[in-house]
Amino acid sequence: MQDETVRVETSGGPIHLRRAGQGPTLLFVHGLMVNGHVWDPLVTGLRDRFHMVLPDLPLGGHRTPLEPDADCSLEAHAARVIEIARKLPGPVVLVGSDTGGAISQIAVAREPGLFDRLVLLPSDAFDNCPPKLLAPLPALAAVPGVIRAVSLSLRLGLVKRVMMMLVARSTVAPATIGELIGGLPHDRAVQRDFTKLLRGLRPEVTRAVAGELHRFRGRVLVVWSRKDPLFPFEHAQRLAACFPRSSVVIAEHSRAFVSLDEPDWLVERITEFIDDGPSDDAM
């Protein structure tokens, strides 16, 4: 199919998503303060084999804000992912990273029959929500004006580069960073959505969903980084153990955003994982 960008109505407001390629459906869920462009390095390698669906979820890097009274909790975003998945041709493979990995965990626990397989990259899990280095953010989000000030600071090149150094080992071009963070530095409504999301980040959510992950019977690939300042290495095996059918592979040269650091390697791992026989024999 031709690449296209479409507007999808979800609970609380519209979401824009890009579609590229043809074949089995891969639904990608990005993380905090970025948008679907974080997956762009994978598109060339996957488009000939897969139908890639790349939403810009309202996690801070979006450009289309939700309605003012919209629920911006992790659970509400998981519901939006489920709404999107129901409109896609199946079977749907869910791919989640960072905060999007936590959202993906909630989605497969709520609707285990909706998704064929799951790929989890370094993500919030267990007590690590938000990651320990970002633990002050929910409290700061409760102080009027603080998150807006943080967002405005992203207009500065140095601040943007430091932010990306936390999640990627590779050098990310300034223009690419600007595309990734979307409307966050200048759009008050996007900043509002981001602030509301931060207020709801708490380990109780990820601890609770960990106990429900056994409900998902499809195959799971946990892709983790060995040295990551945000997501503990030991969480890879611990997360894998939550699922009945899982395997782990390690990205040796990445931080949280494996799609930016090792895109070719990740394309190979995803392709091998999906080519490795049918998933429904466990149902």
User: Which portions of the chain are predicted below pLDDT 50?
Assistant: 281-283
In the 3-class helix/strand/coil scheme, how is 57-106 assigned residue by residue? CCCCCCCCCCCCCCCCCHHHHHHHHHHHHHCCCCCEEEEEEEHHHHHHHH
User: What is residue 1's predicted lDDT score, i.e. its pLDDT?
Assistant: 55
Residue 190 in domain: yes
Q: Whats the size of the chain, residue-wise?
A: 283
- Residue 114 and residue 93: Cα distance in Å, rounded? 9
Residue 211 in domain: yes
Q: What is the pTM of this model?
A: 0.96
Q: Is residue 108 part of a domain?
A: yes
pLDDT of residue 281: 45
In a domain, 283, yes or no: no
The answer to whether residue 22 is domain-embedded is yes
Looking at residue 276, what is its pLDDT? 86
163 located within any domain:
yes
Q: Is residue 39 part of a domain?
A: yes
Question: Which pLDDT does position 2 carry in this prediction?
Answer: 61
Are 31 and 37 in contact by the 8 Å Cβ rule? The answer is no
Q: By the 8 A CB rule, do 36 and 56 touch?
A: yes
pLDDT for the residue numbered 229: 96
Cis status of the peptide bond prior to 58, with omega within 30 of 0: no
**Residue 270: domain span:** 4-276
pLDDT of amino acid 3: 86
- Report the distance separating Cα 123 and Cα 95, nearest Å: 11
Q: Quote the Cα angle for 207-209-210, to 5°.
A: 65
- Read off the CATH number of the domain in which 101 is found: 3.40.50.1820
Residue 28 in any domain: the answer is yes
Q: How many domains does the chain have?
A: 1
CA 97 centroid distance within chain: 4
